[in-house]
Amino acid sequence: MLISTNVPQLVQTDSNPDGVPLATLDSFRAAMLKDRAKFFIEIPTGPFFGYNRPGATASQGQIESWTQQGLQGSLKATYETTRSWEVDYRDDLKKIDVPILAIQGDDDQIVPIKTGVHSLAKERPDVKVKVYPGGSHALPNVNTEEINRDLLDFLKA
């Protein structure tokens, strides 16, 4: 099960033209180094949960929880994790021999849906794709009941 995944590859390359430009990922890294606390407040306040969208009702608890988790991790580990966003996982996908469920919101501002599940489905047509209309990147936090139901249904099938 992959939720809001960056697989098969997040970063834009010649072989992945729909990916996120490297400059965007570099800006995340630069923001972490410049003011880590500000970075870990701005991301959940806006694009991660989709709270920057008109009509969205922000949960201060979710924002603070996400911020706290980000600040508890080591800066080096968090920073180096962003390098995984540049990895091409297509060869790894070929090795998976069990059914795959890929879930993503169509308003994911962190991993655009074209880069996420749509690209994954091109690589692995056998993947079961579930799209949440209006869904953000933080589906397990925002759409908890629906995600749990979809995961259980997939496991039972």
CA distance to 5, 12, 18, 49, per residue, from 66 (Å): 18, 27, 28, 10
Structure tokens at 112: 């655009």
Q: Which DSSP letter does residue 150 get?
A: H
**94-106 per-position pLDDT tens digit:** 999 999 999 999 9
pLDDT of residue 146: 97
pLDDT tens for each residue of 7-23: 999 999 999 999 999 99
Q: Tell me the pLDDT tens digit for each residue of 38-63.
A: 999 999 999 999 999 999 999 999 99
Domain 2-156 in this protein, CATH class:
alpha beta
Within 13 Å and on the Cβ side, how many CA atoms surround 64?
3
CA distances from 80 to 11, 28, 32 (A): 15, 12, 11
Output the pLDDT for position 144.
96
- The reply to whether the predicted model has a pTM over 0.75 is yes
- pLDDT tens, position by position, 67-78: 999 999 999 999
Residues in the chain: 157
Q: Nearest-CA neighbor of 82 among 1, 6, 2?
A: 6
